[in-house]
C-alpha cells in the first residue's frame, strides 16, 4: 500500500522498450517539501522514471502515487515539469510563452500573461518581456522556460537535468530558485548527473544505475555508508600506540620524517585513538577526520562502472 505522506511514492516501477528494460523495479519516496535528487549517468533510467511518475508514459508494472493521487493526471494542475529537451515556440514573446505553459496546466491565459510579466521583472528579465524567444540567448530562453514551469504555482516541480546547458552564473541562480521553492513548501525533484549539484541542494537522493535504484534516502545516510577516514601524520613510526590503529593500517613513510596514515575511523570513535597516540608518544603532527563525500558514496553504492559512466556524462556535457 502507498501512503499519502509523501509527495511522490513509487513501488516497483518497471518499463521495457522493445525488450530493453529501461527501468527495473524503481522504488522512490519523496517527502513533501523536500529537494530530492535523482542521481545517475546518462541512460540510467532517470528520464523514463520521471515520465512514468507524471503519467507521460505508463509503467509496465508497479505502482505510483503523486501528491496523494493514484492517477498523475488528476493532479496535473499541481505539477510543473521542465523536460530535459528544452523547447519553446521561437516566435512567441517571452511572457506569452510563460502564459501558454500555464494555460496548459489550467491557468487562465490573461492571468498567465500578468504573472509572466511579473515573474520576468522579479527575476531581472524585464528588458526581455516583449522579446521573442528566438531573440534570446540559450540560457535566457531556458530561464523563461523555468518560469513557465512555475507560473501556475505548482506544489511539485520536476526538473529533468535542469542545470544542463546553463553557465555557472545561471546555475547558481537556479540553485537559489530551487532553495526558495522548497522554503515556500514546494517539493522539488530533479535529475542530474552532476554530483555537486545534488550534494549542495538535496535533502534526499535516489542513486539510479542500470534502471535500478540501489540507494534512496537522505544524503547523510548515503555518505554514512562509507566510514569517515582518519588522516594521521606522526613523527614516530613504531611504538605501543600502533595497537590502537586498525591492524591493516600501513604507514606511508615520508621522505624527510615520520609517516602518514589513512584508515577508516574505528567503531570506538576518535577519543580512544587520540588517548593512545598521546600516551604512546607517537608525536602527532596532524590529525583529521574526513567524512565521505557523495561521490565516494555513489562509488560505494552504485559501483565503479556507474561512477565512470557518471563522470563520462559530465565530461560529455562540458564538451
Contact residues for another protein, defined by CB under 8 A = 17-20, 22, 42-43, 46-48, 51, 54, 56-58, 73-77, 79, 81, 83-92, 100-101, 103-109, 111, 152-153, 160-161
Which of 210/282 has CB closer to another protein?
A: 210
**Closest Cα to residue 147, out of 111, 184, 122?**
122
What's the min distance (Å) between Cβ of 248 and another protein?
41
Nearer to another protein, 73 or 176 (CB): 73
At residue 306's C-alpha, the angle toward residues 304 and 311, to 5°, is 95
Between CA 236 and CA 26 the distance in angstroms is 51
Determine contact, residues 277/235, Cβ cutoff 8 Å.
Answer: no
Q: Which residue has the cell 555537486?
A: 196
Closest CB 43 distance from another protein, rounded Å: 4
Our CB check for another protein shows the closer of 91 and 288 to be: 91
- Supply the DSSP string of 227-257, one letter for each residue: PPEEEEEES-S-SGGGGGS-TT---EE-SSS
> Is 198 within 8 Å of 37 (Cβ atoms)?
yes
> In the complex, what is the shortest distance from the CB of residue 41 to another protein, in angstroms, rounded to a whole number?
11
What is the closest distance, in whole angstroms, from the C-beta atom of residue 74 to another protein in the complex? 5
Q: Between residues 46 and 64, which has the closer beta carbon with respect to another protein?
A: 46
Contacts of range 218-224, beta carbons closer than 8 Å, 24 or more positions apart? 219/294, 222/294, 222/297, 222/298, 222/301, 223/291, 223/292, 223/293, 223/294, 223/296, 223/297, 224/292
The nearest distance, CB 85 to another protein, in angstroms, is 4
Please give the grid coordinates belonging to residue 106.
489550467
> Please, which residue, 81 or 261, has the CB nearer to another protein?
81
In whole angstroms, the minimum distance from the beta carbon of 212 to another protein comes to: 15
Strands, sheet with 229-234, edge to edge from the N-terminal-most edge strand: 252-253, 259-264, 229-234, 284-290
Cβ of residue 113: shortest distance to another protein, in angstroms? 13
- In the complex with another protein, the residue whose CB is nearer, 14 or 265, is 14
Nearer to another protein among residue 4 and residue 262 (C-beta): 4
Instruction: Kindly tell me the burial class for residue 78, based on how many C-beta atoms sit within 10 Å of its own C-beta (0-12, 13-18, 19 or more).
Output: buried
Cβ atoms of residues 319 and 249 within 8 Å: no
Amino acid at each position: 500500500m502507498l501512503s499519502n505522506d509523501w509527495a511522490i511514492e513509487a513501488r516497483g516501477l518497471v518499463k521495457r522498450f522493445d525488450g530493453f528494460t529501461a527501468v527495473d523495479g524503481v522504488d522512490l519516496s519523496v517527502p513533501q517539501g523536500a529537494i530530492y535528487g535523482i542521481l545517475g549517468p546518462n541512460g540510467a533510467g532517470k528520464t523514463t522514471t520521471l515520465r512514468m511518475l507524471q503519467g507521460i508514459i505508463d509503467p509496465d508494472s508497479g505502482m505510483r502515487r503523486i501528491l496523494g493521487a493514484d492517477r498523475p493526471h488528476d493532479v496535473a494542475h499541481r505539477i510543473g515539469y521542465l523536460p530535459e529537451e528544452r523547447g519553446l515556440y521561437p516566435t512567441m514573446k517571452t511572457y506569452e510563452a510563460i502564459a501558454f505553459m500555464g494555460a496548459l496546466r489550467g491557468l487562465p491565459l490573461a492571468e498567465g500573461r500578468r504573472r509572466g510579466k511579473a515573474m520576468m521583472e522579479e527575476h531581472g528579465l524585464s528588458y526581455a518581456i516583449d522579446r521573442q524567444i528566438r531573440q534570446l540567448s540559450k540560457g535566457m530562453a531556458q530561464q523563461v522556460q523555468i518560469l513557465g514551469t512555475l507560473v501556475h504555482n505548482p506544489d511539485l516541480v520536476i526538473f529533468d537535468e535542469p542545470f544542463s546547458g546553463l553557465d555557472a552564473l545561471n546555475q547558481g541562480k537556479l540553485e537559489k530558485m530551487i532553495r526558495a521553492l522548497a522554503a515556500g513548501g514546494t517539493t522539488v525533484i530533479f535529475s542530474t548527473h552532476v554530483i555537486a549539484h545534488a550534494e549542495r541542494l538535496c535533502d534526499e537522493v535516489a542513486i539510479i544505475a542500470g534502471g535500478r535504484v540501489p540507494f534512496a534516502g537522505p544524503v547523510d545516510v548515503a555518505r554514512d555508508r562509507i566510514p569517515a577516514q582518519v588522516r594521521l601524520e606522526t613523527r614516530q613510526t613504531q611504538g605501543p600506540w600502533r595497537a590502537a590503529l586498525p591492524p591493516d593500517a600501513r604507514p606511508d613513510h615520508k621522505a624527510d620524517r615520520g609517516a602518514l596514515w589513512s584508515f577508516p575511523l574505528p567503531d570506538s570513535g576518535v577519543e580512544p585513538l587520540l588517548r593512545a597516540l598521546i600516551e604512546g608518544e607517537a608525536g602527532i603532527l596532524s590529525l583529521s577526520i574526513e567524512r565521505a563525500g557523495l561521490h565516494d558514496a555513489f562509488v560505494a553504492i552504485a559501483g565503479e562502472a556507474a561512477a565512470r559512466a557518471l563522470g563520462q556524462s559530465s565530461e560529455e556535457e562540458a564538451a
